[in-house]
Chains A and B, each alone.
Chain A
């Protein structure tokens, strides 16, 4: 592949994507022609909204009064003492309404959908966190909502299915393919291509066709913008490292993006290693995959030698996806961010540690970031500061955790 963008100069990492939706070689708009006019329409509508002070003020108002922003930046004294390295701060996204960072993006996109005159919302969900957040904003604004969810995920995330139903959303189980998140995304795309006239596809992660990766990142960047201000206020300087779990990568890119041009801030993403990187049962697209095209973008993918997409495996339904957002793929290639991995078992240990030391049940997704926190804290050292994105709360995961600990609840 020939790079479409020149090598970035040190201070313009934040200038991507280009007009064709590329982060270096990654991203793009690999969608059927039927959708292409809509993708252009969305691109234009988002650009106009982004430039509109009224839109930004409306979104900020809802984020403050409905979502509960800003989320706290919390000094985790006992985790800090436990690891014996850098000072550890947790960005408390799990305290948002609906319990994760997902609502930041949903609020932005639903306001955009209404601005575009769309009257029906569809979404895909894995763990159900994005589905719940989408159902929530649809209820708030009175729009019908259909959520596609892999039949396997419907089974393992029943409480979230019930939550979505309570919020008035229709959950459609997807039995095609491997019946998980990637198949839910296929089915949502099939719905969109069939109902182009009135439907808005509210994608939950910073992946898919342009402009979604850039748009979702922008809506999630509130995480990093706040964290930057908060750490300056509390410590008077920037952190040495920031850490977040990565599936599609929306919470990570939301934290990373406002720090991209601060070269002293190391960026760590943590992919799900499932049963181990030496097995085929993991969900680490960067560490265990190679570039390809799926769901509208060129990015790292889990795939076989012939380019068939292989199934991802993770204890965390929210990280159980065979791809990753294109901006992460690019940040990896240019070396600006480092992508580590954590296994199911390591994440379970980190889940327990965070509960016992800080009184916080982290989402099993966020526990992947916590699993590498000790390493990062040690590497940064005693005088350093690390900010970890606690992207969601773990109440939804207690049944999974109990099962893995051999307990019945």
Chain B
């Protein structure tokens, strides 16, 4: 089970022979209006897919940048309901760029998995990443999402052995997300040499395109990852732009989108060295 938009986007990228650039932004950071403007500007700045965070008060796997982004958003009254509203507003002007929501379990538990899945599908979201729902706890959520044609993306990490990769991929669709460092977001740096064989393992286990996240901050690193994976996710470096722009009283949207442009350019210029392997694994 997977969404048409995610599949179509990765098929198009395969045809182009390049990896996806996937920016992560926190919904409602620094406020709803600015965040919506940023979201709408992402495809034009080179985003192939978008990860949209919904804030949680206790984000246990985030480093300081995304923790602070969540607090900024919450302090302006951001909620899961408003996050879905933001997706719906985005869809008024963009029907093609997939949006994957990312956050923590409790706001979803509060809403109820079935209600959330229905509302998220209606808003035009395509997939969901929940940091604190591992495969062992995933079935009720995966069933609810599947019923609405939404993808659940369970994370693979450096501590996932081959047996776990199989368990993870059983309930994963859309694309596979490899967390390149054992740690929180935005602190350790990914190492492309170490990531390459891991990406291969995940590809083999999943038969899906593999995006890499946690630990990519610069265009250089994004390009390196784009040579070995099917997508590169950048999050903390972008929310840091929000924080700095707010601090310096600069145009937040401009700062974030120009950073996205430079990252997207780097990803586009990198050749997808392992495209053949990826296609073979998917075939």
Which residues on A are within 8 Å of B, measured CB to CB? 20, 28-38, 176-177, 182-183, 186, 189-190, 193-194, 196-197, 291-296, 298, 301, 303, 305-310
Q: Is the CB of A33 within 8 A of B60?
A: no
A33 & B110 in contact (Cβ 8 Å cutoff): no
Let me know if B110 and A306 touch, CB within 8 A: yes
Instruction: Point out the residue from B106, B135, B155 that lies within 8 Å of A292, measured CB to CB.
Output: B106
With A306-B110, A307-B80 already in contact, the answer to whether A196 and B159 are too (CB < 8 A) is yes
B31 close to A (CB within 8 Å): no
Interface membership of B81, Cβ < 8 A: yes
- B interface size (C-beta, 8 A): 47
**Are A38 and B182 within 8 A (Cβ)?**
no
User: Shortest beta-carbon distance, A189 to chain B, in Å?
Assistant: 5
Within 166-203 of B, Cβ neighbours of A (below 8 Å) are at: 168, 179, 182-184, 187-188
Question: Which of A31, A36, A310 is packed against the most chain B CB atoms within 10 Å?
Answer: A36
Q: How far is the CA of A29 from the CA of B154 in the complex (A)?
A: 15
With A and B bound together, what is the CA distance between A313 and B74 in angstroms?
A: 20
Instruction: Answer whether A189 and B60 are a contact pair too, CB < 8 Å, given A29-B136, A37-B160, A194-B182.
Output: yes
Distance of A125 Cα from B159 Cα, bound (Å) = 27
- Whether the pair B58, A34 counts as a contact (CB closer than 8 A) is no
Given A37-B159, A176-B67, A186-B58: 4 more A-B contacts, CB < 8 Å: A20-B136, A30-B137, A34-B182, A292-B109
User: Is there an interface contact between B164 and A32, defined as CB atoms closer than 8 Å?
Assistant: no
Q: Could you jot down 8 A-B contacts, CB within 8 Å?
A: A29-B137, A33-B134, A183-B58, A186-B59, A190-B63, A307-B108, A308-B55, A309-B57
Contact of B60 among A32, A197, A305, A308 (CB under 8 A): A32
How would residues 142 to 166 of chain B score, 1 for a CB under 8 Å from any chain A CB and 0 otherwise? 0000000000001111111100100
A294 near B106 with CB under 8 A, answer yes
Judged by DSSP, the binding face of A is mixed
Once the chains bind, are B134 and A308 in contact (CB under 8 Å)?
Answer: no
User: Residues of B with Cβ closer than 8 Å to A?
Assistant: 55-64, 67, 71, 74, 79-81, 104-111, 131-137, 154-161, 164, 168, 179, 182-184, 187-188
The 8 Å CB contact of A186, one of B55, B60, B110, B158, is B60
CA gap between A33 and B172 in the complex, in Å: 13
Contacts of B179 on A, CB cut-off 8 Å? 33-34
Q: List, in ascending order, chain B residues with CB within 8 A of A190's CB.
A: 60-63, 184
Asked if B159 contacts A33 (CB within 8 A), the reply is yes
> Within 8 Å CB of B55, what residues of A?
308
CA distance A177 to B109 in the complex (A): 21
Question: A194-B187, A306-B80, A306-B81 known; A30 and B132 CB under 8 Å?
Answer: yes
Q: B59: which A residues are within 8 A, CB to CB?
A: 186
Task: Name which of A190, A303, A306 has the most chain B CB atoms within 10 A of its CB.
Answer: A306
- Cβ of A196 and Cβ of B106 under 8 Å apart? no
Q: Is A177's CB under 8 angstroms from B58's CB?
A: yes
B136 and A176 form a contact (CB under 8 A): no
- Give the chain B neighbours of A296 by CB distance below 8 A: 132
Q: Are A33 and B161 in contact (CB under 8 A)?
A: no
A303 shortest CB reach to chain B, Å: 7
User: With A20-B136, A196-B182, A292-B110 in contact, is A30–B58 under 8 Å at CB?
Assistant: no
